[in-house]
């Protein structure tokens, strides 16, 4: 586990700054501002992503989903996933999962303060471990429909890894579940190259709409699925889809 270091930019804290949060330090703000110089649309993209997440969670809740798993949840922000879910289903259960111990500490202090809301430290790149985690197993019944959120996290993984993660979590969810995915993408080669060279908090990859489409090859995308949409001033691919028909059946 890496020691807590405020002198190095951190993925969650940089994103927090773009969303107008306060859980960030000088190194995070400096990188966020430098990235914005490369692509002026980045703050708008971050906000558009958050709007997508809340809309997706609300849509799942309206469809009757009562359990939600937010993978790579990041630092708490409002409205939070559980707030969006419980605005529709007051008894909805929500699990926030992140590998950053500081993020999880914040989530436990600020979000997991009432029954049915959980914050779990786990590495989402190890789906078997995540799915077998006792705290997640106690909170989520995978034999019942669940909404799985993979928002603004898959661009930190190469195409093969991202596809593997989508498949693993989609396969774990029973039919009638929901899967929400968003990734930052790009349409300008110079901007992409500049963004990748400038962002020092972690390696990241530019995934196209075609890439995401391949990840969803075995997923049932309903006719009313929200299509990929660019965010204002930038390139934020957002998608909404039902989980695979080939996943295991729900109970009942």
pLDDT at residue 236, as a whole number: 44
* Residue 76's CATH number: 3.40.50.150
Residue 57 in tokens:
């969670």
Would 48 be classed as within a structural domain? yes
Would 157 be classed as within a structural domain? yes
Q: Cis peptide leading into 79, omega within 30 of 0?
A: yes
- The parent domain of residue 159 ranges over 11-242
- Among candidates 169, 68, 164, 170, which has minimal Cα distance to 119? 68
Q: Can you tell me whether residue 179 is helix, strand or coil? A: strand
| 31 band by pLDDT with thresholds 50, 70 and 90 | confident
| 248 band by pLDDT with thresholds 50, 70 and 90 | very low
Cα–Cα dist 43/158, whole Å: 23
Residue 21 has pLDDT above 80, yes or no: yes
Q: What is the DSSP letter of 138?
A: H
Tens digit of each residue's pLDDT (9 = 90 or more) over 130-175: 999 999 999 999 999 999 999 988 988 899 999 999 999 988 998 8
- Per the CB < 8 A criterion, the answer to whether 182 and 52 are in contact is yes
Share of the chain above pLDDT 90, in %: 37
Would 4 be classed as within a structural domain? no
Would 1 be classed as within a structural domain? no
Average pLDDT, the chain: 81
Q: What is the DSSP letter of 154?
A: G
């Amino acid at each position: 586990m890496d020691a807590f270091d405020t002198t190095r930019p951190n993925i969650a804290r940089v994103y927090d700054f773009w969303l107008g949060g306060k859980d960030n330090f000088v190194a995070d703000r400096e990188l966020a501002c430098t990235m914005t110089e490369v692509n002026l649309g980045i703050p708008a993209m971050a906000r558009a992503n958050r709007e997508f997440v809340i809309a997706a969670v609300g849509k799942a809740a309206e469809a009757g989903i009562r359990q939600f798993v937010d993978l790579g949840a990041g630092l708490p922000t409002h409205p939070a996933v559980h707030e969006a879910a419980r605005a529709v289903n007051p008894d909805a259960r929500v699990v926030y999962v992140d590998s950053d111990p500081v993020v999880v500490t914040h989530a436990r202090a600020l979000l997991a303060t009432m029954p049915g809301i959980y914050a779990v430290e786990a590495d989402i790149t190890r789906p078997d471990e995540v799915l077998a985690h006792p705290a997640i197993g106690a909170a989520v019944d995978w034999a019942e429909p669940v909404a799985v959120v993979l928002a603004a996290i898959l661009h930190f993984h190469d195409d093969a890894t991202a596809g593997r993660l989508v498949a693993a979590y989609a396969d774990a969810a029973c039919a009638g579940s929901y899967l929400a995915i968003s990734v930052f993408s790009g349409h300008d080669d110079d901007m992409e190259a500049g963004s990748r060279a400038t962002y020092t908090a972690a390696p990241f990859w530019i995934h196209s709409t075609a890439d995401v489409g391949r990840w969803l090859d075995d997923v049932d995308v309903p006719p009313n699925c929200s299509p990929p949409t660019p965010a204002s001033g930038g390139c934020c691919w957002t998608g909404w889809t039902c989980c695979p028909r080939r996943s295991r059946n729900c109970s009942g």
